[in-house]
Structure 1
Amino acid sequence: MIRAAIAASLALALAACATTPESAAPARPDARSYAVTADAMGDAALARAAANGKRVLVVLGANWCHDSTALAGWLETPRFTGLVAERYELVFVNVGMPQTGDGHNLAVPQRFGLAEMKGTPGLLVLTAEGKAVNLDTAASWRNAASRSEEAIYAELTALAGRPAP
């Protein structure tokens, strides 16, 4: 009887450790959007931005990074796809693991003035002429998974350079 009670208690304790309460699960979508390509950031996005009166949103991340996949996931939701379609040309650039010296496509952030990437993701907003408008905050997105939907939306709206619709 005592053994059965001890076994049941242990089983309950292990079950509690093995499960995650629903409230602790991330309240965000995740997506894998960081493909490795030969032409990570051609000038096509800048040309489209110039033709359409938009800015370019360059997301510098990697599929191994939960913050990168969280940000990509938000950008795929209807609320964000509307904002992006109206105000931005969106480009995902795989930068690998720059913090360990195994970076990829690091010429892209350097081209637009972000000299160093210490983590992922980074987020650059460019004018159609290729001028970065957020170099002061571009590397601050390394906590994207813990940002709220509202905070991300507000910052992207502000960086778009025009009032929200």
Structure 2
Amino acid sequence: MIRRVWAAGLALALAACATTPDAAAHPEARPYAAEADAARNVDAALARAATSGKRVLLVLGANWCHDSRALAGWLETPRFAALAAQSYEVVFVDVGTPQTGEGRNLDIAHRFGLAEITGTPALLVLTAEGKAVNLDTAATWRNAASRSEAAIHAELAALAGPPAP
């Protein structure tokens, strides 16, 4: 019985993190640190955003998830790094496996109005005041590995808001 429950939970977790036929089509990175003080990192990013006029790009994911690794990989490329440098304070938050009840740092998502994380990654864009500007699309990023570079860049550029001073 326990094996069946464990297997069903693992299958659910893997299904929530969509698969892609060609994992080499996107870069990957593993920036989600379970031991990081996520709340402190978010608060520091909000403080920097208040000074810089940028928004906060809060990436809620996990290293076990290829969609999370893919999004993080794109964010490390020169094209995305330039967009982030101009418009965002980026914070990666490890959320574990919330799909199976083994989530962590979920209070951070709740703090900004994201009631539930049903797949990873989720992506919140926050104003310097901590107001989420994309609650309607925050949970749609769990297919990040199958999105094109151009589509990801266009969405992040649109969410960046007005240029930082």
The normalised TM-score by structure 1 is 0.82
Structure 1 residues 11-90: aligned runs within 5 Å: 24=22, 26-42=24-40, 43-90=43-90
Provide the rounded CA distance (Å) in 2 between the counterparts of 1:151 and 1:38. Answer: 30
Provide the rounded CA distance (Å) in 2 between the counterparts of 1:78 and 1:41. Answer: 27
Q: Secondary structure at the match of 1:93?
A: strand
Q: Percent identity?
A: 74
The amino acid across from 2:60 in the alignment is: L
Q: Secondary structure at the match of 2:91?
A: strand
Provide the rounded CA distance (Å) in 1 between the counterparts of 2:155 and 2:50. Answer: 22
Contact 2:28–2:70 (CA under 8 A) maintained in structure 1? yes
Provide the rounded CA distance (Å) in 1 between the counterparts of 2:136 and 2:51. Answer: 27
Provide the rounded CA distance (Å) in 1 between the counterparts of 2:36 and 2:123. Answer: 20
The normalised TM-score by structure 2 is 0.82
The amino acid across from 2:68 in the alignment is: S
Provide the rounded CA distance (Å) in 2 between the counterparts of 1:160 and 1:85. Answer: 11
Provide the rounded CA distance (Å) in 1 between the counterparts of 2:131 and 2:60. Answer: 16
- Structure 1: gaps of 5 or more residues: 1-22
Provide the rounded CA distance (Å) in 2 between the counterparts of 1:72 and 1:25. Answer: 14
After superposition, the Cα gap between the structure-2 partners of 1:100 and 1:127, relative to the gap in structure 1 and judged at 3 Å, is same
Considering only aligned residues, what root-mean-square deviation do their CA atoms show, in Å?
A: 1.4
CA drift of 1:60 comes to 0.2
Provide the rounded CA distance (Å) in 2 between the counterparts of 1:144 and 1:78. Answer: 18
Provide the rounded CA distance (Å) in 1 between the counterparts of 2:32 and 2:22. Answer: 26
Structure 1 residues 1-165: aligned runs within 5 Å: 24=22, 26-42=24-40, 43-162=43-162
The amino acid across from 2:65 in the alignment is: C
CA drift of 1:41 comes to 2.8
Contact 1:83–1:157 (CA under 8 A) maintained in structure 2? yes
Contact 2:23–2:145 (CA under 8 A) maintained in structure 1? no
After superposition, the Cα gap between the structure-2 partners of 1:150 and 1:113, relative to the gap in structure 1 and judged at 3 Å, is same
- Structure 2: gaps of 5 or more residues: 1-20
Contact 2:38–2:105 (CA under 8 A) maintained in structure 1? yes
Contact 1:41–1:91 (CA under 8 A) maintained in structure 2? no
Q: Secondary structure at the match of 1:41?
A: helix
